[in-house]
């Protein structure tokens, strides 16, 4: 990773200051909103993130240009839509909108200033691609609504019941990833790795001797629940829930 200089830090601080000062005048007027234009802006940000990822991986000569284009596109989007959702997305609470948009912005900033590995920026493209595809967005929110009902259930009293709970959560995660992260290889690989780890952890419980099973059950279920709840929160923010 590139060493961050004092100049880079100063630029980042000034950029943040500028963005927050501009919030007061950043709301989008419903009369000016055109979904087709909004869709293209969202897809453009996603495209520029991928271009910058590629520039880093391949060490392409246009790296500085890719950084500048992404940063400019993001600033324009943030100034227009950073404060609240535009017309057509009023079903999203303002606080939820701001949380997701600001998180995406932090990831884009981290990518631009080389604070994260290029592949780790995959998640920043997901909110924008969902916004640009209303049908997929609706399907993702339905999965999240279903998942929220499962993830909130209290810990089971038996290994069999807990196995069902884990299976239902993993099923929702797989459905969600297949839909929302279809063009995000890093996210898909990350989730596959998570599920494999959960499976290994729970297998110890299922295959344990009877005298050890209960102890392993108490410990492993706590760890697995914590991991699944963390994953749920990750996707909740990405999907404006």
The 3-class SS string of 18-34 reads HHHHHHHHCCCCHHHCC
| Residues 128 and 10 grouped into a single domain | yes
Identify whether 51 is part of a domain: yes
The 10 Å Cβ neighbour count of residue 185 is 11
159 near 202, Cβ under 8 Å? Answer: no
Identify whether 1 is part of a domain: no
| Residues 94 and 169 grouped into a single domain | no
Distance of CA 35 to the CA centre of its chain: 22
| Residues 18 and 103 grouped into a single domain | yes
pLDDT digits (tens, 9 = 90+) for 32-52: 568 999 999 999 999 999 999
| Residues 25 and 109 grouped into a single domain | yes
| Residues 122 and 156 grouped into a single domain | no
| Residues 88 and 183 grouped into a single domain | no
Residue 9 is predicted with a pLDDT of 54
166 near 228, Cβ under 8 Å? Answer: yes
Residue 88 is predicted with a pLDDT of 87
Residue 30 is predicted with a pLDDT of 53
| Residues 111 and 142 grouped into a single domain | no
Task: Domain count for the chain, please give it.
Answer: 2
Residue 21 is predicted with a pLDDT of 44
CA distances from 240 to 103, 110, 158 (A): 11, 21, 34
* Distance between CA atoms of residues 39 and 23, nearest Å: 22
Domain boundary among 132, 150, 169: 132
| Residues 113 and 56 grouped into a single domain | yes
Domain that holds residue 87: 6-132
| Residues 65 and 147 grouped into a single domain | no
Domain boundary among 106, 132, 158: 132
| Residues 52 and 120 grouped into a single domain | yes
CA distances from 231 to 16, 153, 155, 161, 191 (A): 28, 16, 17, 21, 9
Residue 17 is predicted with a pLDDT of 46
pLDDT digits (tens, 9 = 90+) for 192-206: 999 999 999 999 999
Distance of CA 28 to the CA centre of its chain: 24
Residue 26 is predicted with a pLDDT of 46
Identify whether 214 is part of a domain: yes
Residue 211 is predicted with a pLDDT of 87
Q: Which residues of the chain fall below pLDDT 50?
A: 14, 17-18, 20-27
| Residues 88 and 170 grouped into a single domain | no
| Residues 173 and 95 grouped into a single domain | no
């Amino acid at each position: 990773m590139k060493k961050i200089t004092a100049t880079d830090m100063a630029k980042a601080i000034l950029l943040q200051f500028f963005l927050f000062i501009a919030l007061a005048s950043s709301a989008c007027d419903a009369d000016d909103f055109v979904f087709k234009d909004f869709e293209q802006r969202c897809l453009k940000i996603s495209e520029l993130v991928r271009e910058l990822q590629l520039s880093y991986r391949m060490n392409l000569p246009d790296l500085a240009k890719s950084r500048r284009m992404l940063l400019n596109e993001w600033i324009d989007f943030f100034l227009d839509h950073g404060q609240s959702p535009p017309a057509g997305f009023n079903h999203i609470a303002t606080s939820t909108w701001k949380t997701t948009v600001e998180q995406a912005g932090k990831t884009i900033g981290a990518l631009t200033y080389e604070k994260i590995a290029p592949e780790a920026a995959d998640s920043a493209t997901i909110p924008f691609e969902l916004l640009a595809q209303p049908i997929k967005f609706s399907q993702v929110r339905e999965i999240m609504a279903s998942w929220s009902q499962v993830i909130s259930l209290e810990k089971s009293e038996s290994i069999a019941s807990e196995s069902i709970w884990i299976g239902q959560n993993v099923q929702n995660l797989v459905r969600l990833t297949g839909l929302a992260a279809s063009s995000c290889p890093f996210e898909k690989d990350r989730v596959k790795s998570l599920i494999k780890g959960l499976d290994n952890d729970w297998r110890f419980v299922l295959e344990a001797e009877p005298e050890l099973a209960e102890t392993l059950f108490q410990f492993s279920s706590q760890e697995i629940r914590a991991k699944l709840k963390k994953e749920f929160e990750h996707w909740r923010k990405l999907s404006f829930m």
